């Protein structure tokens, strides 16, 4: 028996109930999931299929000409394992119609993410479905994702699981080993990997995040536990610099009730 | 006295009091078919939990005609339910009422509405001040709401008024997924075990199910008894109606076996509290 840090049986039951209720109570039966070939979207597809029924989960696979061919193959492997309907949409023409010639990786990467978002929301409209988000807690808190790109979604089923927990959870759910084992990457340009871009391993990043976020330890306390200054500052700077992505834009307030400040209704208000 | 309780672990629709009243009536019907004496709903069962600005929109005075269909049913079965109370003082409260034989027997206002992290209750609602015990046809009952249950002082106040049954009506969200059970469930069970054991009371813990804005209420309703038994467990996360019969003779037996209540001296507590309050006031 493998040693897991969380009770994934319970996590699974909880997230499945979450997906069901948040989908049905918002008036939907179906969802679309952008399958990247990575572990996050694979886990979300597995959970969604179990929660809503496999026929109600549509996988959208959106390769670009520079994407790693393995990404598409791995996405198709998830589709095959789950037996869910899918659509393959090559986004090369759309992207290349806008960008002529060379452009910085991050600009192009953000654009790819936002084109994929546009397609997912269009497909959601076509199928009367929600867009299932695939962001995990590490990514959300480090702000390592494209604002209004891959961050845009109706629900975040795995938004409270750190990346290292997503790997464990994937193993618990029997996601194919080759998807779990490969290096995490957004695959927005050739050779990109999360850990080289973030400057540390997820294991290291998550350890610091847990101390800072969940246990509310101070920077000094974390340093005194033996974590390297460079790592801790990397994490804390990323959190600070990306806070804007996790909030609504500020509204210039002058009326009695202003969106975001004192017009305070719950998300799930359906009266 | 034997009392058959129905534990209505429901999942109310946020902000929709019409739909929720219908659900109350359906659960009451089902409980009547099983000849239950008392049906207990969770905190804010009529309104849902995460109301925020909706609180003032769904608030009702206890005398509102809106409750009439439920009052009518209470000829055969007592009903404890949660709602947002519009008080005579024009404030709103997170309240619960006990209905017996067509009449409102008691209205309790939550004393400790949590306001930190995901909880924002005091931002939108006021707080109550009084733990009371009321005499029902089945004995002395008290109501406490959710966070109140984590303040042993309030359980003590119910005990000091000889509450035989405490209705713990809750909306507790799940947190803590490392262990076999959700960490919050462990905490509640520990608390209930302790209170029922030392105060020789029954605690009817009814927690809601369902999700609101990502918060998942864990359910896990049950009755804790003075002899340490756990009855009518409703399981976690799902809407459920369970039943359990308790015998208040168990309190008598427990209090003879372990006569803590006979030793209790409220005057000592009062004198000590007065001294503590005086000292604290001086310090400020």
Tens of pLDDT, residues B56-81 = 999 999 999 999 999 999 999 999 99
**If 0-12 CB within 10 Å is exposed, 13-18 middle and 19+ buried, where does residue B127 land?**
middle
Q: What pLDDT, in 10s, does the model give residues A160-190?
A: 999 999 999 999 999 999 999 999 999 999 9
What residue in A sits closest to B17 (Cα-Cα)?
A271
Interchain CB contact of B116 with A (< 8 Å): no
Convert B217-244 into a string of H (helix), E (strand) and C (coil): EEECCEEECCCCCEECCCCECCCEEEEE
Interface test with B, best of A4, A266, A267 (most B CBs within 10 A): A266
| Host domain of residue A88 | 8-188
What residue segments make up the domains of chain B, in order of their start?
Answer: 2-283
Q: Both tokens of residue B85? A: 């109370």
Distance from CA of B184 to the nearest CA of A (A): 13
Q: What pLDDT, in 10s, does the model give residues B42-59?
A: 999 999 999 999 999 999
Closest CA to B71 of B98, B91, B89: B98
Q: Write the DSSP string, A69-105.
A: HHHHHHHHHHHHHHT--EEE---HHHHHHH--S---H
CA-derived radius of gyration, chain B: 18
The complex's ipTM?
0.93
Q: Is residue A72 part of a domain?
A: yes
Closest CA to A33 of A132, A117, A145: A132
All residues of chain A having their beta carbon less than 8 Å from the beta carbon of residue B46 are none
All residues of chain B having their beta carbon less than 8 Å from the beta carbon of residue A14 are 174, 177, 216, 237
pLDDT of A2 higher than 60: no
Q: A25 and A124: one domain? A: yes
Q: What pLDDT, in 10s, does the model give residues A90-123?
A: 999 999 999 988 899 999 999 999 999 999 999 9
Q: A29 and A100: one domain? A: yes
Cross-chain residue pair A270–B216, CB shorter than 8 Å: no
Cross-chain residue pair B16–A266, CB shorter than 8 Å: no
Q: A55 and A113: one domain? A: yes
Report, as an integer, the average pLDDT of B22-27: 98
Q: A79 and A35: one domain? A: yes
Count of domains in chain A?
A: 2
Q: A19 and A147: one domain? A: yes
Q: Which of B53, B174, B181 sits opposite A14 (nearest CB)?
A: B174
Closest CA to A10 of B215, B182, B173: B182
Q: Is residue A258 part of a domain?
A: no
Q: What pLDDT, in 10s, does the model give residues B214-263?
A: 999 999 999 999 999 999 999 999 999 999 999 999 999 999 999 999 99
> What CA–CA distances, in Å, run from B279 to A195, B268, B270?
57, 17, 14
Q: What pLDDT, in 10s, does the model give residues B138-180?
A: 999 999 999 999 999 999 999 999 999 999 999 999 999 999 9
Cross-chain residue pair B52–A264, CB shorter than 8 Å: yes
Q: Is residue A137 part of a domain?
A: yes
- C-alpha count within 13 angstroms, C-beta hemisphere, residue A147: 12
Q: A33 and A145: one domain? A: yes
Q: In the block, which residue shows the tokens 């750190």? A: A162
Q: Is residue A259 part of a domain?
A: no
Q: A46 and A125: one domain? A: yes
Q: A48 and A107: one domain? A: yes
Q: A54 and A184: one domain? A: yes
Question: Is CATH 3.40.50.261 correct for B2-283?
Answer: no
Q: A221 and A94: one domain? A: no
Cross-chain residue pair B15–A270, CB shorter than 8 Å: yes
All residues of chain B having their beta carbon less than 8 Å from the beta carbon of residue A6 are 177-178
Q: Which of B14, B51, B182 sits opposite A270 (nearest CB)?
A: B14
Q: Is residue A264 part of a domain?
A: no
Q: Is residue A214 part of a domain?
A: yes
Report, as an integer, the average pLDDT of B6-29: 98
Q: A227 and A170: one domain? A: no
Size of interface A-B (CB pairs under 8 A): 63
Q: Is residue A271 part of a domain?
A: no
Q: A239 and A143: one domain? A: no
pLDDT category at B283 given cuts 50, 70, 90 is: confident
């Amino acid at each position: 028996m493998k040693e897991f840090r969380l009770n994934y049986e319970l996590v699974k039951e909880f997230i499945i109930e979450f997906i069901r209720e948040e989908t049905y109570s918002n008036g939907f039966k179906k969802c679309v999931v952008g399958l990247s070939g990575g572990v996050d979207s694979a886990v979300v597809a597995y959970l969604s299929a179990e929660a809503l029924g496999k026929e109600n989960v549509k996988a959208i696979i959106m390769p670009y000409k520079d994407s790693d061919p393995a990404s598409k193959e791995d996405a198709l492997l998830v589709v095959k394992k789950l037996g869910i309907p899918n659509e393959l949409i090559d986004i090369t023409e759309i992207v290349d119609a806008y960008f002529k010639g060379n452009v910085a990786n991050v600009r192009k990467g953000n654009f790819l993410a936002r084109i994929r978002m546009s397609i997912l929301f269009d497909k959601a409209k076509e199928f009367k479905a929600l867009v299932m988000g695939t962001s995990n807690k590490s990514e959300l808190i480090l702000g390592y994702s494209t604002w209004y790109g891959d961050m845009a979604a109706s629900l975040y089923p795995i938004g409270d699981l750190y990346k290292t927990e997503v790997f464990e959870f994937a193993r618990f759910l029997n996601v194919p080993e080759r998807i779990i084992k490969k290096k995490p990457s957004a695959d927005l340009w050739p050779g990109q990997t999360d850990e080289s871009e973030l400057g540390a391993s997820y294991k290291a990043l998550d350890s610091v995040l847990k101390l800072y976020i969940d246990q509310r330890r101070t920077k000094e306390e974390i340093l005194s536990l033996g974590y390297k200054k460079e790592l801790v500052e990397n994490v804390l700077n990323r959190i600070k610099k990306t806070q804007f992505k996790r909030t609504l834009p500020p509204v210039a307030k002058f009326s009695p009730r202003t969106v975001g400040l004192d017009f305070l209704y719950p998300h799930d208000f359906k009266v | 006295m034997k009392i058959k309780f129905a534990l209505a672990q429901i999942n109310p629709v946020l902000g929709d009091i019409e739909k929720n009243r219908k659900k109350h009536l359906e659960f009451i019907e089902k409980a009547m078919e099983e000849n239950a004496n008392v049906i207990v709903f969770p905190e804010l069962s009529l309104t849902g939990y995460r109301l925020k600005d909706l609180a003032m929109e769904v608030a009702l005075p206890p005398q509102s005609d809106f409750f009439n269909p439920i009052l009518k049913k209470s000829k055969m079965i007592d009903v404890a339910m949660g709602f947002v109370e519009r008080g005579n003082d024009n404030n709103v409260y997170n309240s619960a009422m006990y209905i017996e034989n067509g009449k409102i027997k008691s209205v309790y206002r939550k004393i400790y509405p949590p306001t930190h992290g995901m909880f924002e209750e005091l931002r939108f609602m006021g707080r109550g001040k009084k733990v009371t015990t009321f005499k029902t046809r089945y004995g002395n009952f008290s109501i406490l709401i959710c966070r109140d249950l984590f303040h042993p002082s309030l359980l003590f106040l119910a005990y000091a008024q000889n509450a035989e049954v405490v209705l713990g009506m809750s909306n507790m969200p799940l947190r803590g997924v490392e262990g076999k059970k959700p960490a919050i469930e462990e905490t509640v069970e520990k608390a209930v075990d302790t209170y029922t054991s030392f105060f020789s009371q029954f605690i009817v813990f009814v927690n809601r199910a369902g999700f609101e804005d990502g918060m998942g209420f864990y359910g896990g309703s049950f009755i804790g008894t003075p002899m340490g038994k756990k009855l009518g467990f409703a399981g976690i996360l799902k809407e459920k109606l369970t039943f359990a019969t308790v015998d208040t003779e168990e309190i008598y037996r427990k209090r003879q076996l372990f006569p803590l209540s006979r030793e209790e001296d409220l005057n000592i507590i009062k004198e000590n509290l007065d001294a503590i309050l005086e000292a604290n006031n001086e310090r400020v």
